[in-house]
C-alpha cells in the first residue's frame, strides 16, 4: 500500500491509540499523518496525554476510518523514532493541514516521527 497516495485521496478521521508505562490506554482524534516515506510517518502533537504516553511507552496505533465507509480504512502499528520541536516546520504543516489544530493555539507542538511497523486493513487480519 502506498501511504502517500492513500492519504492524499482518502477523507475520514484518524485516531491515535497510546498507552502509558502501566498499560493504561488512551485514544485521541488526530489529523492525517505526514508521510515521510513508506516506512515513516510524522504527527504534530501537542503537550497532552498522547505525547506523555509515547514518552513512556513508544508504541502506538494510528487508525484511519474513511468517511464513506464504516468498515474501510487502515491501521498503522507504530514505534516512536524521534521527536523534534522545529517550530517553523510544525507551523508549515499546520498551515497545509489546518485541522491539526487552530493557528492561535499557543500550546507547545512537536513533530513526532514514527516507524510504520505493520499496516493492516481497518477490519480483518489482512496485512497491507
CA–CA separation, 64 and 122 (whole Å): 8
Q: Reply yes or no on whether the pLDDT at 68 is more than 80.
A: no
Q: Where are the domains positioned within the chain? A: 3-121
> How many residues does the structure list for the chain?
128
Cell numbers given for 69: 465507509
Q: Reply yes or no on whether the pLDDT at 28 is more than 70.
A: yes
Cell numbers given for 124: 480483518
Q: What is the third-level CATH fold of 3-121?
A: Pnp Oxidase; Chain A (2.30.110)
Q: How many CB atoms lie within 10 A of CB 18?
A: 26
Residues 6+ apart with CB under 8 A from 16: 27, 28, 30, 43, 50, 60, 61, 62, 63
Please give the average per-residue pLDDT across 40-51, as a whole number. 92
Amino acid at each position: 500500500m502506498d501511504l502517500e497516495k492513500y492519504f492524499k485521496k482518502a477523507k475520514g478521521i484518524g485516531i491515535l491509540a497510546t498507552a502509558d508505562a502501566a498499560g493504561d490506554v488512551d485514544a485521541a482524534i488526530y489529523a492525517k499523518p505526514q508521510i515521510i516515506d513508506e516506512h515513516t510517518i510524522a504527527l504534530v502533537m501537542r503537550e497532552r496525554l498522547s505525547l506523555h504516553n509515547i514518552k513512556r511507552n513508544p508504541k502506538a496505533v494510528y487508525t484511519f476510518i474513511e468517511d464513506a465507509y464504516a468498515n474501510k480504512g487502515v491501521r498503522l502499528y507504530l514505534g516512536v523514532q524521534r521527536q523534534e520541536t522545529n517550530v517553523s516546520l510544525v507551523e508549515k504543516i499546520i498551515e497545509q493541514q489546518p485541522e491539526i489544530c487552530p493557528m492561535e493555539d499557543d500550546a507547545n507542538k512537536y513533530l513526532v516521527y514514527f516507524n510504520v511497523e505493520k499496516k493492516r486493513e481497518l477490519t480483518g487480519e489482512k496485512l497491507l
